[in-house]
Structure 1
Amino acid sequence: MTALLRYHSALFLRSQRWLAPLILYAALVVVGVRPGDPVAGSLGIAAAGLLPVSAWAVRICLTQEPEASRAVVAAAGGRSRAHLAALLTGAGWPVLAGAVAACAVTATGDLTGTGGPAALLAGVLATTACALTGGAVGALAARPFVRAPGLSVAALLLGSLGALVTTGSPAKHAVASLVGAEGAVRPPWAACAAAVLLAAVTAAVSRLAAARLE
Protein backbone atom coordinates (compact mmCIF):
# COMPACT_ATOMS: atom_id res chain seq x y z
CA MET A 1 0.00 0.00 0.00
CA THR A 2 2.88 2.37 0.76
CA ALA A 3 4.19 2.01 -2.78
CA LEU A 4 0.75 2.69 -4.23
CA LEU A 5 0.36 5.80 -2.08
CA ARG A 6 3.75 7.06 -3.20
CA TYR A 7 2.84 6.35 -6.82
CA HIS A 8 -0.46 8.22 -6.70
CA SER A 9 1.08 11.10 -4.74
CA ALA A 10 3.85 11.41 -7.33
CA LEU A 11 1.30 11.45 -10.14
CA PHE A 12 -0.78 14.04 -8.33
CA LEU A 13 2.12 16.36 -7.58
CA ARG A 14 3.95 16.01 -10.89
CA SER A 15 0.81 16.58 -12.95
CA GLN A 16 0.41 20.01 -11.30
CA ARG A 17 -3.34 19.46 -11.32
CA TRP A 18 -3.25 20.19 -7.60
CA LEU A 19 -2.47 23.84 -8.35
CA ALA A 20 -6.03 24.72 -9.34
CA PRO A 21 -7.75 23.39 -6.17
CA LEU A 22 -4.96 24.77 -3.98
CA ILE A 23 -5.22 28.24 -5.52
CA LEU A 24 -9.00 28.10 -5.17
CA TYR A 25 -8.70 27.21 -1.50
CA ALA A 26 -6.10 29.89 -0.84
CA ALA A 27 -8.34 32.46 -2.52
CA LEU A 28 -11.35 31.39 -0.46
CA VAL A 29 -9.37 31.70 2.76
CA VAL A 30 -7.84 35.06 1.83
CA VAL A 31 -11.18 36.54 0.78
CA GLY A 32 -13.28 35.02 3.55
CA VAL A 33 -10.92 35.40 6.51
CA ARG A 34 -9.46 38.66 7.75
CA PRO A 35 -6.76 38.97 10.42
CA GLY A 36 -8.33 40.04 13.68
CA ASP A 37 -11.74 38.48 12.99
CA PRO A 38 -13.18 36.15 15.66
CA VAL A 39 -11.21 32.95 15.36
CA ALA A 40 -14.20 30.57 15.55
CA GLY A 41 -16.01 32.04 12.56
CA SER A 42 -12.79 32.27 10.57
CA LEU A 43 -12.01 28.60 11.23
CA GLY A 44 -15.52 27.69 10.12
CA ILE A 45 -15.05 29.53 6.83
CA ALA A 46 -11.67 27.88 6.26
CA ALA A 47 -13.20 24.45 6.93
CA ALA A 48 -16.20 24.99 4.65
CA GLY A 49 -14.00 26.13 1.77
CA LEU A 50 -12.00 22.90 1.96
CA LEU A 51 -14.94 20.62 1.16
CA PRO A 52 -15.24 21.25 -2.62
CA VAL A 53 -11.45 21.39 -2.87
CA SER A 54 -11.14 17.94 -1.32
CA ALA A 55 -13.84 16.55 -3.60
CA TRP A 56 -11.96 17.98 -6.57
CA ALA A 57 -8.65 16.51 -5.42
CA VAL A 58 -10.16 13.04 -4.99
CA ARG A 59 -11.69 13.20 -8.45
CA ILE A 60 -8.30 14.19 -9.88
CA CYS A 61 -6.58 11.22 -8.23
CA LEU A 62 -9.24 8.81 -9.46
CA THR A 63 -9.07 9.99 -13.07
CA GLN A 64 -5.46 11.06 -13.60
CA GLU A 65 -4.05 7.70 -14.74
CA PRO A 66 -4.04 6.69 -18.42
CA GLU A 67 -5.97 3.50 -19.07
CA ALA A 68 -2.81 1.50 -19.81
CA SER A 69 -1.13 2.61 -16.58
CA ARG A 70 -4.25 1.86 -14.58
CA ALA A 71 -4.34 -1.67 -15.96
CA VAL A 72 -0.67 -2.28 -15.12
CA VAL A 73 -1.06 -0.94 -11.56
CA ALA A 74 -4.22 -2.99 -11.03
CA ALA A 75 -2.44 -6.14 -12.20
CA ALA A 76 0.56 -5.48 -9.96
CA GLY A 77 -1.13 -4.28 -6.77
CA GLY A 78 -4.76 -5.26 -7.14
CA ARG A 79 -7.53 -3.07 -8.50
CA SER A 80 -9.19 -2.59 -5.15
CA ARG A 81 -5.97 -1.61 -3.37
CA ALA A 82 -4.99 0.75 -6.18
CA HIS A 83 -8.40 2.41 -6.00
CA LEU A 84 -8.11 2.81 -2.24
CA ALA A 85 -4.65 4.35 -2.61
CA ALA A 86 -6.05 6.93 -5.04
CA LEU A 87 -8.84 7.77 -2.58
CA LEU A 88 -6.42 8.13 0.34
CA THR A 89 -4.10 10.32 -1.71
CA GLY A 90 -6.90 12.57 -2.89
CA ALA A 91 -8.24 13.09 0.63
CA GLY A 92 -4.90 13.15 2.44
CA TRP A 93 -3.40 16.21 0.79
CA PRO A 94 -6.48 18.40 1.50
CA VAL A 95 -6.38 17.31 5.15
CA LEU A 96 -2.79 18.58 5.29
CA ALA A 97 -3.76 21.85 3.59
CA GLY A 98 -6.62 22.29 6.04
CA ALA A 99 -4.32 21.78 9.02
CA VAL A 100 -1.95 24.44 7.67
CA ALA A 101 -4.87 26.83 7.12
CA ALA A 102 -6.16 26.19 10.64
CA CYS A 103 -2.74 27.08 12.06
CA ALA A 104 -2.60 30.30 10.04
CA VAL A 105 -6.15 31.33 10.95
CA THR A 106 -5.59 30.62 14.64
CA ALA A 107 -2.36 32.63 14.62
CA THR A 108 -4.02 35.70 13.05
CA GLY A 109 -7.55 35.51 14.51
CA ASP A 110 -9.06 37.12 17.58
CA LEU A 111 -8.79 34.61 20.41
CA THR A 112 -10.92 36.56 22.85
CA GLY A 113 -12.88 34.13 25.02
CA THR A 114 -10.99 31.03 23.97
CA GLY A 115 -7.48 29.59 24.11
CA GLY A 116 -5.17 29.15 21.15
CA PRO A 117 -4.70 25.36 21.55
CA ALA A 118 -8.46 24.78 21.87
CA ALA A 119 -9.15 26.92 18.80
CA LEU A 120 -6.46 25.14 16.81
CA LEU A 121 -7.80 21.72 17.80
CA ALA A 122 -11.31 22.76 16.78
CA GLY A 123 -10.04 24.08 13.47
CA VAL A 124 -8.07 20.93 12.66
CA LEU A 125 -11.05 18.72 13.52
CA ALA A 126 -13.43 20.86 11.45
CA THR A 127 -11.16 20.97 8.42
CA THR A 128 -10.61 17.21 8.69
CA ALA A 129 -14.37 16.63 8.84
CA CYS A 130 -14.92 18.80 5.77
CA ALA A 131 -12.00 17.26 3.87
CA LEU A 132 -13.24 13.71 4.50
CA THR A 133 -16.83 14.63 3.63
CA GLY A 134 -15.57 16.25 0.46
CA GLY A 135 -13.53 13.15 -0.27
CA ALA A 136 -16.68 11.05 -0.02
CA VAL A 137 -18.40 13.40 -2.49
CA GLY A 138 -15.45 13.17 -4.87
CA ALA A 139 -15.43 9.37 -4.68
CA LEU A 140 -19.11 9.17 -5.62
CA ALA A 141 -18.76 11.76 -8.39
CA ALA A 142 -15.95 9.96 -10.24
CA ARG A 143 -15.20 6.55 -11.67
CA PRO A 144 -16.55 3.94 -11.44
CA PHE A 145 -19.89 5.62 -10.61
CA VAL A 146 -19.78 8.57 -13.03
CA ARG A 147 -17.56 8.29 -16.08
CA ALA A 148 -18.67 11.20 -18.28
CA PRO A 149 -16.49 14.25 -17.40
CA GLY A 150 -19.33 16.76 -17.65
CA LEU A 151 -21.68 14.76 -15.48
CA SER A 152 -18.86 14.07 -13.03
CA VAL A 153 -18.12 17.78 -12.55
CA ALA A 154 -21.82 18.57 -12.17
CA ALA A 155 -22.23 15.81 -9.59
CA LEU A 156 -19.16 17.06 -7.73
CA LEU A 157 -20.47 20.63 -7.53
CA LEU A 158 -23.98 19.65 -6.52
CA GLY A 159 -22.71 17.08 -4.04
CA SER A 160 -20.36 19.59 -2.43
CA LEU A 161 -23.15 22.13 -2.07
CA GLY A 162 -25.47 19.49 -0.64
CA ALA A 163 -22.87 18.35 1.87
CA LEU A 164 -22.58 21.90 3.19
CA VAL A 165 -26.31 22.56 3.61
CA THR A 166 -27.91 19.17 4.24
CA THR A 167 -29.04 18.46 7.78
CA GLY A 168 -27.05 15.59 9.24
CA SER A 169 -23.96 16.24 7.15
CA PRO A 170 -20.77 16.03 9.25
CA ALA A 171 -19.36 19.00 7.37
CA LYS A 172 -22.39 21.18 8.06
CA HIS A 173 -22.32 20.26 11.74
CA ALA A 174 -18.60 21.01 12.03
CA VAL A 175 -18.90 24.38 10.28
CA ALA A 176 -22.03 25.38 12.23
CA SER A 177 -20.38 24.55 15.54
CA LEU A 178 -17.68 27.11 14.77
CA VAL A 179 -19.54 29.81 12.88
CA GLY A 180 -22.26 29.98 15.51
CA ALA A 181 -19.93 29.62 18.50
CA GLU A 182 -20.18 32.13 21.32
CA GLY A 183 -17.42 32.28 23.89
CA ALA A 184 -15.12 29.28 24.17
CA VAL A 185 -14.70 27.16 21.03
CA ARG A 186 -15.74 23.52 21.37
CA PRO A 187 -13.89 21.00 19.20
CA PRO A 188 -16.36 19.20 16.88
CA TRP A 189 -15.39 15.67 17.88
CA ALA A 190 -18.73 14.12 16.88
CA ALA A 191 -18.68 15.72 13.42
CA CYS A 192 -15.13 14.54 12.79
CA ALA A 193 -15.95 11.00 13.92
CA ALA A 194 -19.03 10.94 11.68
CA ALA A 195 -16.94 12.17 8.74
CA VAL A 196 -14.40 9.39 9.32
CA LEU A 197 -17.22 6.84 9.32
CA LEU A 198 -18.77 8.34 6.19
CA ALA A 199 -15.44 8.33 4.38
CA ALA A 200 -14.74 4.73 5.40
CA VAL A 201 -18.13 3.50 4.19
CA THR A 202 -17.85 5.44 0.94
CA ALA A 203 -14.35 4.11 0.33
CA ALA A 204 -15.52 0.53 0.90
CA VAL A 205 -18.42 0.94 -1.51
CA SER A 206 -16.20 2.63 -4.08
CA ARG A 207 -13.58 -0.11 -3.83
CA LEU A 208 -16.22 -2.81 -4.30
CA ALA A 209 -17.70 -1.01 -7.29
CA ALA A 210 -14.26 -0.52 -8.85
CA ALA A 211 -13.42 -4.21 -8.46
CA ARG A 212 -16.67 -5.28 -10.10
CA LEU A 213 -17.24 -2.62 -12.75
CA GLU A 214 -13.75 -1.97 -14.08
Structure 2
Amino acid sequence: MTALLRYQTGLLLRSQRWLAPLLLYAAFLAVGVDAGEPVLGALGLAAAALLPVTAWSVRICVTQEPSAARNAVAAAAGRGRAHLAALVTGTALPALVGTVAALAVTATGDRRGVTAPAAVTTGLLAVLACALTGAAVGALASRPFVRAPGWSVAALVLGSLLALVTTGSPAKHAMTALITGARTATADPPWLACGGAVLLAAVCAVLACGATARLE
Protein backbone atom coordinates (compact mmCIF):
# COMPACT_ATOMS: atom_id res chain seq x y z
CA MET A 1 0.00 0.00 0.00
CA THR A 2 2.90 2.37 0.71
CA ALA A 3 4.08 2.11 -2.90
CA LEU A 4 0.56 2.77 -4.16
CA LEU A 5 0.25 5.84 -1.96
CA ARG A 6 3.59 7.18 -3.20
CA TYR A 7 2.47 6.55 -6.78
CA GLN A 8 -0.87 8.32 -6.33
CA THR A 9 0.74 11.24 -4.48
CA GLY A 10 3.34 11.64 -7.20
CA LEU A 11 0.66 11.66 -9.88
CA LEU A 12 -1.35 14.27 -7.99
CA LEU A 13 1.56 16.60 -7.32
CA ARG A 14 2.98 16.39 -10.85
CA SER A 15 -0.41 17.00 -12.45
CA GLN A 16 -0.91 20.22 -10.42
CA ARG A 17 -4.65 19.46 -10.42
CA TRP A 18 -4.53 19.88 -6.64
CA LEU A 19 -4.02 23.62 -7.10
CA ALA A 20 -7.62 24.42 -8.02
CA PRO A 21 -9.38 23.01 -4.92
CA LEU A 22 -6.72 24.28 -2.54
CA LEU A 23 -6.71 27.76 -4.08
CA LEU A 24 -10.49 27.78 -3.70
CA TYR A 25 -10.05 26.87 -0.03
CA ALA A 26 -7.45 29.59 0.47
CA ALA A 27 -9.73 32.13 -1.19
CA PHE A 28 -12.64 31.15 1.04
CA LEU A 29 -10.50 31.55 4.16
CA ALA A 30 -9.19 34.90 2.97
CA VAL A 31 -12.72 36.21 2.40
CA GLY A 32 -14.62 34.48 5.20
CA VAL A 33 -12.19 34.47 8.13
CA ASP A 34 -10.77 37.63 9.69
CA ALA A 35 -7.98 37.80 12.24
CA GLY A 36 -9.34 38.64 15.66
CA GLU A 37 -12.86 37.24 15.19
CA PRO A 38 -14.22 34.66 17.69
CA VAL A 39 -12.08 31.59 17.24
CA LEU A 40 -14.78 28.91 17.33
CA GLY A 41 -16.86 30.57 14.62
CA ALA A 42 -13.78 30.99 12.44
CA LEU A 43 -12.84 27.35 12.98
CA GLY A 44 -16.35 26.34 11.94
CA LEU A 45 -16.00 28.19 8.63
CA ALA A 46 -12.55 26.75 8.02
CA ALA A 47 -13.81 23.21 8.64
CA ALA A 48 -17.02 23.56 6.61
CA ALA A 49 -15.15 24.86 3.56
CA LEU A 50 -12.92 21.80 3.67
CA LEU A 51 -15.81 19.41 2.91
CA PRO A 52 -16.36 20.26 -0.79
CA VAL A 53 -12.62 20.76 -1.26
CA THR A 54 -11.93 17.22 -0.03
CA ALA A 55 -14.73 15.79 -2.16
CA TRP A 56 -13.22 17.52 -5.20
CA SER A 57 -9.72 16.31 -4.32
CA VAL A 58 -10.92 12.71 -4.00
CA ARG A 59 -12.62 12.89 -7.38
CA ILE A 60 -9.40 14.23 -8.91
CA CYS A 61 -7.38 11.33 -7.51
CA VAL A 62 -9.73 8.55 -8.58
CA THR A 63 -9.92 9.91 -12.15
CA GLN A 64 -6.38 11.16 -12.73
CA GLU A 65 -4.84 7.99 -14.18
CA PRO A 66 -5.02 7.18 -17.90
CA SER A 67 -6.91 3.96 -18.56
CA ALA A 68 -3.78 2.04 -19.57
CA ALA A 69 -1.92 3.04 -16.40
CA ARG A 70 -4.93 2.25 -14.22
CA ASN A 71 -5.22 -1.22 -15.75
CA ALA A 72 -1.51 -1.87 -15.25
CA VAL A 73 -1.65 -0.83 -11.59
CA ALA A 74 -4.80 -2.89 -11.07
CA ALA A 75 -3.13 -5.95 -12.57
CA ALA A 76 -0.15 -5.57 -10.25
CA ALA A 77 -1.88 -4.61 -6.99
CA GLY A 78 -5.59 -5.28 -7.45
CA ARG A 79 -8.28 -2.78 -8.41
CA GLY A 80 -9.66 -2.47 -4.91
CA ARG A 81 -6.30 -1.63 -3.32
CA ALA A 82 -5.41 0.78 -6.13
CA HIS A 83 -8.73 2.58 -5.70
CA LEU A 84 -8.27 2.74 -1.93
CA ALA A 85 -4.86 4.37 -2.40
CA ALA A 86 -6.46 7.02 -4.60
CA LEU A 87 -9.16 7.68 -1.99
CA VAL A 88 -6.61 8.01 0.81
CA THR A 89 -4.40 10.32 -1.24
CA GLY A 90 -7.34 12.53 -2.17
CA THR A 91 -8.29 12.83 1.49
CA ALA A 92 -4.85 13.29 3.02
CA LEU A 93 -3.78 16.51 1.27
CA PRO A 94 -6.91 18.56 2.13
CA ALA A 95 -6.88 17.19 5.67
CA LEU A 96 -3.27 18.33 6.08
CA VAL A 97 -4.09 21.79 4.71
CA GLY A 98 -7.16 21.97 6.96
CA THR A 99 -5.01 21.11 9.97
CA VAL A 100 -2.61 23.96 9.16
CA ALA A 101 -5.57 26.30 8.67
CA ALA A 102 -7.09 25.31 12.02
CA LEU A 103 -3.81 26.00 13.81
CA ALA A 104 -3.45 29.38 12.05
CA VAL A 105 -7.04 30.37 12.87
CA THR A 106 -6.53 29.41 16.51
CA ALA A 107 -3.35 31.48 16.68
CA THR A 108 -4.97 34.60 15.18
CA GLY A 109 -8.55 34.33 16.47
CA ASP A 110 -10.15 35.84 19.56
CA ARG A 111 -9.94 33.12 22.23
CA ARG A 112 -11.69 34.97 25.05
CA GLY A 113 -13.34 32.34 27.24
CA VAL A 114 -11.69 29.47 25.33
CA THR A 115 -8.25 28.06 26.06
CA ALA A 116 -5.86 27.45 23.20
CA PRO A 117 -5.71 23.64 23.73
CA ALA A 118 -9.53 23.43 23.79
CA ALA A 119 -9.81 25.52 20.62
CA VAL A 120 -7.17 23.46 18.83
CA THR A 121 -8.80 20.17 19.83
CA THR A 122 -12.25 21.34 18.79
CA GLY A 123 -11.01 22.76 15.51
CA LEU A 124 -8.95 19.73 14.53
CA LEU A 125 -11.80 17.34 15.27
CA ALA A 126 -14.16 19.48 13.18
CA VAL A 127 -11.63 19.58 10.35
CA LEU A 128 -11.28 15.80 10.44
CA ALA A 129 -15.05 15.29 10.54
CA CYS A 130 -15.60 17.56 7.54
CA ALA A 131 -12.65 16.16 5.57
CA LEU A 132 -13.80 12.57 6.06
CA THR A 133 -17.40 13.45 5.23
CA GLY A 134 -16.15 15.16 2.09
CA ALA A 135 -14.12 12.06 1.26
CA ALA A 136 -17.28 9.96 1.54
CA VAL A 137 -19.09 12.34 -0.84
CA GLY A 138 -16.20 12.21 -3.29
CA ALA A 139 -16.08 8.41 -3.18
CA LEU A 140 -19.78 8.12 -3.99
CA ALA A 141 -19.90 10.90 -6.60
CA SER A 142 -17.14 9.58 -8.86
CA ARG A 143 -16.08 6.35 -10.50
CA PRO A 144 -17.15 3.60 -10.36
CA PHE A 145 -20.60 4.90 -9.30
CA VAL A 146 -20.83 8.02 -11.49
CA ARG A 147 -18.70 7.92 -14.64
CA ALA A 148 -19.97 10.85 -16.72
CA PRO A 149 -17.97 13.98 -15.75
CA GLY A 150 -20.97 16.31 -15.83
CA TRP A 151 -23.14 14.11 -13.64
CA SER A 152 -20.19 13.47 -11.34
CA VAL A 153 -19.62 17.19 -10.74
CA ALA A 154 -23.34 17.74 -10.17
CA ALA A 155 -23.43 14.87 -7.67
CA LEU A 156 -20.34 16.28 -5.97
CA VAL A 157 -21.90 19.72 -5.51
CA LEU A 158 -25.27 18.37 -4.37
CA GLY A 159 -23.71 15.80 -2.06
CA SER A 160 -21.46 18.41 -0.44
CA LEU A 161 -24.40 20.73 0.16
CA LEU A 162 -26.53 17.97 1.66
CA ALA A 163 -23.66 16.82 3.87
CA LEU A 164 -23.41 20.32 5.34
CA VAL A 165 -27.12 20.85 6.03
CA THR A 166 -28.65 17.42 6.61
CA THR A 167 -29.43 16.45 10.19
CA GLY A 168 -27.40 13.40 11.14
CA SER A 169 -24.44 14.29 8.95
CA PRO A 170 -21.16 14.22 10.91
CA ALA A 171 -20.15 17.51 9.30
CA LYS A 172 -23.44 19.17 10.28
CA HIS A 173 -23.03 17.87 13.84
CA ALA A 174 -19.50 19.29 14.04
CA MET A 175 -20.64 22.65 12.66
CA THR A 176 -23.50 22.79 15.16
CA ALA A 177 -21.07 22.17 18.02
CA LEU A 178 -18.81 24.99 16.86
CA ILE A 179 -21.66 27.45 16.24
CA THR A 180 -23.12 26.74 19.66
CA GLY A 181 -19.69 27.06 21.23
CA ALA A 182 -19.11 30.40 19.51
CA ARG A 183 -22.32 31.76 21.02
CA THR A 184 -21.52 30.57 24.54
CA ALA A 185 -17.70 30.88 24.36
CA THR A 186 -17.48 27.20 25.33
CA ALA A 187 -15.43 24.66 23.40
CA ASP A 188 -17.23 21.34 23.01
CA PRO A 189 -14.98 18.99 21.00
CA PRO A 190 -17.14 17.08 18.47
CA TRP A 191 -15.85 13.60 19.29
CA LEU A 192 -19.08 11.92 18.24
CA ALA A 193 -19.13 13.71 14.90
CA CYS A 194 -15.53 12.73 14.26
CA GLY A 195 -16.24 9.09 15.07
CA GLY A 196 -19.28 9.12 12.82
CA ALA A 197 -17.23 10.61 9.99
CA VAL A 198 -14.58 7.91 10.36
CA LEU A 199 -17.28 5.23 10.13
CA LEU A 200 -19.00 6.93 7.18
CA ALA A 201 -15.76 7.33 5.24
CA ALA A 202 -14.76 3.72 5.93
CA VAL A 203 -18.11 2.36 4.74
CA CYS A 204 -18.05 4.47 1.57
CA ALA A 205 -14.45 3.42 0.86
CA VAL A 206 -15.35 -0.25 1.22
CA LEU A 207 -18.34 0.19 -1.10
CA ALA A 208 -16.31 2.09 -3.68
CA CYS A 209 -13.39 -0.35 -3.65
CA GLY A 210 -15.71 -3.33 -3.86
CA ALA A 211 -17.65 -1.80 -6.74
CA THR A 212 -14.43 -0.95 -8.55
CA ALA A 213 -13.20 -4.52 -8.28
CA ARG A 214 -16.50 -5.85 -9.67
CA LEU A 215 -17.35 -3.26 -12.33
CA GLU A 216 -14.05 -2.21 -13.86
Tell me the TM-score normalised to structure 2 length: 0.98
CA offset at residue 186 of structure 1?
1.2
Q: Which residue of 1 aligns with 2:215?
A: 213
The runs of at least 4 consecutive aligned structure 1 residues that moved more than 3 Å come to none
SS at match of 1:167: coil
How many residue pairs end up in the alignment?
214
**Alignment equivalent of 2:193, drawn from 180, 191, 194:** 191
1-structure distance, mates of 2:129, 2:175: 9
Percentage of identical aligned residues: 68
Q: Which residue of 1 aligns with 2:10?
A: 10
SS at match of 2:112: coil
Matches within 5 A, 1:45-194: 45-181=45-181, 182-194=184-196
Residues 7-36 of structure 1: CA deviation (Å, up to 9, x unaligned): 000111110000000000001111111001
Tell me, yes or no, if the aligned pair for 1:129 and 1:174 is still in contact at 8 Å: yes
2-structure distance, mates of 1:29, 1:204: 32
CA offset at residue 171 of structure 1?
0.3
Q: Which residue of 1 aligns with 2:27?
A: 27
Residues 19-56 of structure 1: CA deviation (Å, up to 9, x unaligned): 00000000111111100100000000000000000000
For structure 1, the residue ranges without an aligned partner over 5 or more in a row are none
Tell me, yes or no, if the aligned pair for 1:42 and 1:179 is still in contact at 8 Å: no
SS at match of 2:71: helix
Question: Counterpart of 1:40 in structure 2: which amino acid?
Answer: L
CA offset at residue 175 of structure 1?
1.0
For structure 2, the residue ranges without an aligned partner over 5 or more in a row are none
Question: Counterpart of 1:176 in structure 2: which amino acid?
Answer: T
Tell me, yes or no, if the aligned pair for 1:45 and 1:179 is still in contact at 8 Å: no
CA offset at residue 204 of structure 1?
0.4
SS at match of 1:180: helix
2-structure distance, mates of 1:113, 1:59: 40
Please give the root-mean-square deviation of Cα atoms over the aligned residues, in Å.
Answer: 0.6
CA offset at residue 179 of structure 1?
1.7
2-structure distance, mates of 1:183, 1:23: 31
**Alignment equivalent of 2:202, drawn from 190, 200, 203:** 200
2-structure distance, mates of 1:74, 1:94: 25
CA offset at residue 184 of structure 1?
2.1
Question: Counterpart of 2:178 in structure 1: which amino acid?
Answer: L
Question: Counterpart of 2:196 in structure 1: which amino acid?
Answer: A
1-structure distance, mates of 2:67, 2:185: 53
CA offset at residue 211 of structure 1?
0.4
